[in-house]
Structure 1
Amino acid sequence: MPVPVLPLDSYGVSAEQQAVLDRAVDKLAGTCMKAKGYTWPARLERLGEARSANERRYGVTDPEAVRVYGYQLAPPPGVTPGQLAEEARLEKKRKTLMTDEVTEAYTGRAGTTKGTSRTGGCRGEALKQLGLPPQGDALDAVDLAQQQGWQRTEADSRAKAANARWSACMKKAGHPYANPHAAAGDPAWWTKGAGDMAARNKTKAREIATAVADVECKQQVDYVAVWQSVETTYQNKIITANEKELGEVRQMWRDALRKAALVLR
């Protein structure tokens, strides 16, 4: 099933564009760190294609993926389990290089504290050079619009009716959940290391059966189409009412991408 596309998507950045910004931040912050006498361990090269933020906006939808992974995130196409294991090993090694002293220089705060940063460290300086707000700042107009649109969608009678139809379908299949997010968020799927191998295998089998039924029920009740239609309507209304503020955020991202392209030349 295609990844949903919504009106507010055009006011932010795609996963690929975010990757470009990340590379520019890394380069700028790396220069700053070097000037301070530190080296920030470079992030690993991403495996496969970047994932859209909307991929699971309405829960799992890929009938093939859920038969293998249940509610767990499937690896990108073409990426093997061995590559994922190697990536995890390298990332663990990378984190051992992030000492408190190095982390404080990079972020502006000690690595294990919750204190706020006055400068944002080298990362904050890099973001500033791209015209982007420091990480952790207040939500911008697009973030707030996304939240508002989602809240209105959840409260809409059409979306509630789709939840009810999906829930009835799931109950008939032996999986009583009120909505897709309740099914995906069942703690049983996310508890690691509990019980013996037989118990874990039984839980995994139940997770896969639930996820398969989840996708099938979504298809039967046209769940994604209903929710996408309702949310699209609300997002368009929000865009009309907040055109100036949203346009300013979109321009910020465009300017940042232009600057990032120059940094990465």
Structure 2
Amino acid sequence: MTPHRAASPRLLAAALMALLLTTGCSTGESTDAGPTAPKQTAPKPTAEVLGLVLPFDAYEISHQESFTVAKARDLLMRNCMRRRGHEWKTLDYPAHVDDLRNRRRYGVIEIEVARNFGYHATPEILSAADDVTDRRKERDEHLGSDAVRAAYDEKNGCGYQANDFLERDGGSADYDRFNELSSKLLTEAKKQPEVVGTLRDWQSCMRKKGFTYRTPDDAIADRRWWTEKSDTGKSDTGKSEIATAVADVQCKEQTSLVKTLYTAESRLQRQAVARERSYFDGLAAAKARNLRNARDVIDGR
């Protein structure tokens, strides 16, 4: 999965390799929490966040499903690495995690997240099980150079072979069109008349609070938040960022902007699925096969 943009969904194959590095997704916001920002515990997702399930979501692997694939991949890699004379530690993956792929699709929408993180999207926010990322990194740090090559060689590594096995019999698909549509339709949703009107209300709300941003995207993109001097929650810049993010969320709540935008985007996505039924059916079949292959490995079949 791509870990940086919810608007750029995961390729099934890429999701497997990305699991070695991170879990979770976001919008176009940076995932850099600042050079000195301490690790924080993200607030639990709100009901609003958990309710942001878009039509396109059914066609890509969820956070929970990614752990099923990761578990199968670990088992395949363990066997492969042992044949090559190396050990491979399999990890314990959560039995259940919330799917947070859309937590930051519309920017910051949770007041506690705004108060603690401002506009920065850290692994603690983007993943319901960020400790898995830490354990993967720890595992990799204990691999010798030969083991790294055995695991990650781009042509013959055990990871490559595991991916190939899990994608067999149609378990992989080309998601270029999916990515294009997802990004395009989010942009189109922001241009829908009802959304444009609500954005004007948001702008008016922000102006009353002393901010002159035209849209939430402009607020996120403020260069002050993305400099090396920015130390969220500590420096003057950090305090300004948090104050802005809090006002942003408050105005979104006051104007029902997230609901309006989500409704518009959902409508556009449903229309796209109906127009390109054959393409989306192919994606669904590839996802189902990928997961079936993974479950067969886990079940020892």
Larger relative contact order, structure 1 or 2 (CA cutoff 8 Å, min sep 6): 1
Structure 2 residue aligned with 1:54: 102
1:248 equivalent in alignment to 2:282? yes
Q: Cα offset for 1:237?
A: 1.1
Residues 1-265 of structure 1 mapped to structure 2, 5 A cutoff: 1-3=47-49, 4-40=52-88, 49-73=97-121, 75=124, 93-97=138-142, 101-109=146-154, 119=155, 121-131=157-167, 139-192=175-228, 194=229, 200-265=234-299
Residue segments in structure 1 that go unaligned for 5+ positions in a row: 110-118
Whole-angstrom CA distance in 1 between matches of 2:270 and 2:54? 9
Aligned CA distance change for structure 1 residues 134 and 204 (closer, same or farther; 3 Å): farther
Q: Is the 8 A contact 2:171 2:287 kept in 1?
A: no
Tell me the amino acid that sits aligned with residue 127 of structure 1. Answer: N
**Conserved in 1, the CA contact under 8 Å of 2:81 and 2:88?**
yes
* Post-superposition offset of 1:102: 3.6
Given that 2:93 and 2:132 are in contact with CA atoms closer than 8 Å, whether structure 1 keeps it comes out as no
Higher mean displacement: 29-38 or 45-54: 45-54
State how far apart, in whole Å, the 2-side matches of 1:47 and 1:207 are.
36
Counterparts of 1:94 and 1:121, CA distance in 2 = 16
Structure with higher helix content: 1
When structure 1 is superposed on structure 2, of 197-206 and 235-244 the one drifting more is 197-206
Q: Contact between 2:232 and 2:241, CA under 8 Å: does it hold in 1?
A: no
State the Cα distance separating 1:213 from its structure 2 match.
0.3
Secondary structure, aligned partner of 1:142: helix
8 Å contact from structure 2 (residues 117, 233) kept in 1 = no
Residue 104 of structure 1: how far off its partner (Å)? 3.6
Report the AA paired with residue 63 of structure 1.
I
Give the structure-1-normalised TM-score. Answer: 0.76
Query: 5+ unaligned residues in a row in structure 2: which ranges?
Result: 1-46
- 1:72, distance to aligned residue in structure 2 (A): 3.5
Distance change >3 Å, CA 64–CA 89, structure 1 → 2? closer
Seq. identity, %: 26
Instruction: After superposition, give the CA deviation of every residue in 1:136-195 in whole Å (9 maximum; x if it has no partner).
Output: x95344334323322322343433333333233223312332322332343433445x38
Rg larger in 1 or in 2? 1
Give the SS at the match of 1:128: helix
Q: Distance in 2 between matches of 1:219 and 1:12?
A: 29
Q: What is the TM-score when the length of structure 2 is the normalising length?
A: 0.68
In the alignment, the residues of structure 2 paired with residue 248 and residue 5 of structure 1 have an alpha-carbon distance, to the nearest angstrom, of 20
Q: CA RMSD in A?
A: 3.5
Distance 1:53 1:149, change over 3 A: same
Secondary structure of residue in 2 paired with 1:13: coil
Closer/same/farther in 2, CA of residues 39 and 163 from structure 1, 3 Å limit: farther
Contact 2:107 2:216 in 1 (8 A): yes
Cα distance change on mapping 1:36 and 1:225 into 2, 3 Å: same
- How far 1:229 moved relative to its partner? 1.4
Quote the offset at 1:65 in angstroms.
Answer: 2.7
Compute the displacement of 1:243 (Å).
0.6
**Secondary structure at 1:58 match in 2:** coil
**What do residues 227-252 of structure 1 show as CA deviations (whole Å, max 9, x unaligned)?**
11111111111101111111111111
Report the Cα distance in structure 2 between the residues aligned to 1:90 and 1:21, rounded to whole angstroms.
Answer: 17
> For the Cα contact (< 8 Å) 1:12–1:253, is it kept in 2?
yes
Distance in 2 of aligned mates of 1:146 and 1:48: 26
Q: CA deviation at 1:122?
A: 2.0
Residue type at the aligned position of 1:260: A
Distance in 1, Cα, partners of 2:214 & 2:63: 31
